[in-house]
Amino acid sequence: MPAVPQLIELLKEPSKAERTLIENAFAFAEEVHKSHARYSGEPYFNHLFETAKILAELGMDATTVAAGLLHDAIEDVGVTQETLRKEFGDEILMLVTGVTNLGHLHYRGIDRYSESLRRMFIASAKDVRVLIIKLADRLHNIRTLACVPEEKRARIAIETLEIYAPIAYRLGIRRINRELQERSFPFAHPNEYARVKTLIKGKESELTRKLLKFHKSVLKKLAEQKIAFIRATHRIKGLYSLYIKLKNKDWDLEKITDVLAIRIIVREIDDCYRILGAIHGVWRPLPRRIKDYIAFPKPNGYQSLHTTVFTGDGGIVEIQIRTEEMHR
């Protein structure tokens, strides 16, 4: 059940004033939305709380989290701008009205207009926090898309893939970008989703076994060389990301080099290069698959070292190495 402490504990050392702001925004939103329900029948306030929680998990400040709680107050329950200004000030009013205005921009199903609409979204937001609130709002809506009437799901999912996911990528919020893509995929392109699922079916357990084995080998080698790192995780490529690659590779899974990946998080930039050297000292890298996005970041600011290596058992694994700061 939504509760104020759940939000406050996610904030970074909140001041007394910030705690009070969250408490007031929580109480205000809960009250004005008390008769407002979602398609599922659950209280609409649950959506506002989850939006605010996503923002807090992203490390946003108390003002932005409060605006997340209040972001539908004007549009959905008729709270006036004057009331919002009186209760919470000009900054939160600006954020909430910005989100409300973005809500009037919709994808019309014409691919060639997608880039124009993405630019309009970005230009319409006077503050980048408006975009981030809107992304958090859409992320929770996509998490609960199955509760929306069936005739609306495909449009919302396609709009998410065409507009919201690319904006999250441009802002460097890879976590939201990936989740928006993966959760929208089955609703936006059900036939393609089924085809990818069929292609990967029966191979996941073997891929997971190989990845775990190689992951342990990497950790053992780093321990032998006394190279410190914060943590290492592994993953099998998401279905939507796999779909995009398969379309360009004649639907041949063997042609995709990053189906399996390991991510290593370190403290210092020098550690990234030390680990890269240690890995290449044991496992042979694929030609032209070493990418230094630390020295040459992507346009959205993304930084990491990437390499793809032969594992020695007939497989290949992509390895990403970055600092904690780069990973945020």
Q: Tell which wins on pLDDT, 249 or 102.
A: 249
Which is more confident, 256 or 65? Answer: 65
Percent of the chain with pLDDT over 70: 94
Contacts 24+ apart (CB under 8 A), 1-10: 2/26, 2/30, 2/45, 2/46, 2/49, 6/53, 7/49, 7/52, 7/53, 7/56, 7/65, 10/53, 10/56, 10/57
Q: What is the pLDDT of residue 202?
A: 82
Which position among 23, 30, 61, 75 bears the catalytic label? 75
The pLDDT value recorded for residue 82 is 95
268 part of the active site: no
**What's the average model confidence in pLDDT over 271-298?**
95
The answer to whether 151 is a known catalytic residue is no
Chain segment 22-52, per-residue pLDDT in tens: 999 999 999 999 988 888 889 999 999 999 9
> Contacts from 245-249 at CB under 8 Å and sequence distance 24+?
246/196, 246/199
> Residues 69-93: what's their mean pLDDT?
93
Distance CA 309, CA 280 (A): 8
Catalytic residue among 23, 30, 61, 76: 76
* Domains of the chain by start residue, with CATH: 4-188 (1.10.3210.10), 198-327 (3.30.460.10)
